[in-house]
């Protein structure tokens, strides 16, 4: 449908503690991390991710309150929208149907604004209470952005979780940060390096194909998620056994 799909999440907090990880060391001489650390603040990471291109927008912060998250989110979305082509104007009824199509099947729907511009972008994020702020939601509507909320317990539906794990592992694994500022600098530096050669994300991929082939070779069993590699032979009852015996005798 020509819509840009971005996902958003907040990761952290990350403490100023030694983080386990691999490193290049002589054999039998591993890196020794201090057993004590100074509690010198924490850091968080605000993330906007575009799965189709792999591009990520990151900001390191010490807090992720609405006063910090909302202005950054608006700034980034405005910058993204400037790179998108303009959508043609539709009649009011057709345009509203385009917006409403993304609410089909939802048990909890947000109320759309009375007047809606052409839909240009989908924003997937979690059920953080601040994401339901009326001022922010109306701002998104006014800019042609449809917010989609992942269900409770469904954070795995947000690809931002995946890119955050990659960035955090690359920036903090095997390190011993001394301040929250240092953590922020490392996270943002890794994000800039990632954007130099980003990797697009897709749903499923080779792993999903292998699982589908594996499921096709199994036979599901009732009562649980158990499977068998061959069909389970049905057990004959006494009447069926009697009929089988009669057929053999004749």
CA dist., res. 132 & res. 140, Å (int): 11
Pairing between strand 121-125 and 55-61?
unpaired
Range picked from 10-19, 29-38, 66-75, 210-219 for highest mean pLDDT: 66-75
User: Across residues 203-231, what is the average pLDDT?
Assistant: 71
Per-residue model confidence as pLDDT tens digits over 167-183? 988 888 878 788 889 99
Q: In this predicted structure, what is the pLDDT of residue 194?
A: 92
**Mean of the pLDDT values across residues 49-68?**
91
Among candidate residues 19, 2, 9, 14, the one with its CA nearest the CA of residue 176: 19
Q: Comparing C-alpha atoms, which of 7, 115, 121, 14 is closest to residue 64?
A: 14
If one counts every other C-beta atom within 10 angstroms of the C-beta of residue 161, the result is 17
Q: Enumerate the domain spans of the chain.
A: 4-196, 216-249
Asked whether residue 249 carries a pLDDT value surpassing 90, the answer given is no
Per-chain mean pLDDT for the chain: 83
Confidence tier at 106 by pLDDT (50, 70, 90) = confident
Q: Is the pLDDT of residue 225 over 70?
A: no
pLDDT class of 243 with cuts at 50, 70, 90 = low
Q: Are 43 and 60 in contact (CB under 8 A)?
A: yes
**Three-state secondary-structure class, residue 60:** strand
Predicted pLDDT of residue 234: 62
Q: Are 218 and 228 in contact (CB under 8 A)?
A: yes
Q: Torsion angle, CA of 134/135/140/142, rounded to 10 degrees? A: 110
Q: What percentage of the chain exceeds 70 in pLDDT?
A: 84
Q: Does domain 4-196 have CATH number 3.50.7.10?
A: no
pLDDT at 40: 76
pLDDT recorded at residue 69? 92
**What's the CA dihedral at 109, 64, 13, 179 to 10 degrees?**
170
């Amino acid at each position: 449908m020509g819509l840009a799909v971005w996902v958003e999440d907040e990761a952290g907090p990350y403490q100023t503690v030694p983080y386990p990880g691999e490193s290049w060391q002589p054999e039998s001489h591993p890196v020794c991390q201090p057993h004590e650390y100074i509690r010198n603040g924490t850091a968080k990471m605000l993330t906007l991710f575009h799965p189709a291109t792999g591009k990520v927008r990151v900001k390191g912060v010490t807090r992720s309150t609405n006063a910090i998250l909302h202005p950054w989110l608006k700034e980034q979305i405005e910058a993204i929208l400037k790179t998108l082509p303009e959508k043609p104007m539709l009649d009011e009824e057709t345009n509203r149907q385009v917006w409403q199509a993304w609410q089909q099947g939802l048990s909890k729907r947000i109320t759309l604004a009375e007047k809606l511009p052409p839909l240009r972008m989908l924003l997937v994020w979690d059920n953080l209470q601040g994401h339901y702020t009326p001022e922010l939601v109306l701002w998104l509507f006014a800019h042609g952005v449809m917010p989609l909320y992942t269900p409770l317990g469904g954070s795995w539906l947000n690809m931002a979780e995946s890119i955050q794990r990659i960035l955090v592992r690359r920036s903090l694994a095997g390190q011993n940060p001394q301040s929250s500022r240092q953590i922020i600098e490392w996270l943002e530096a890794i994000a800039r390096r990632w954007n130099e050669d980003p990797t697009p994300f897709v749903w499923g991929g080779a792993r999903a194909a292998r699982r589908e082939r594996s499921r096709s070779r199994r036979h599901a069993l009732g009562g649980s998620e158990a499977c068998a590699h061959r069909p389970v032979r049905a057990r004959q009852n006494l009447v069926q056994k009697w009929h089988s015996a009669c057929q053999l005798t004749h």
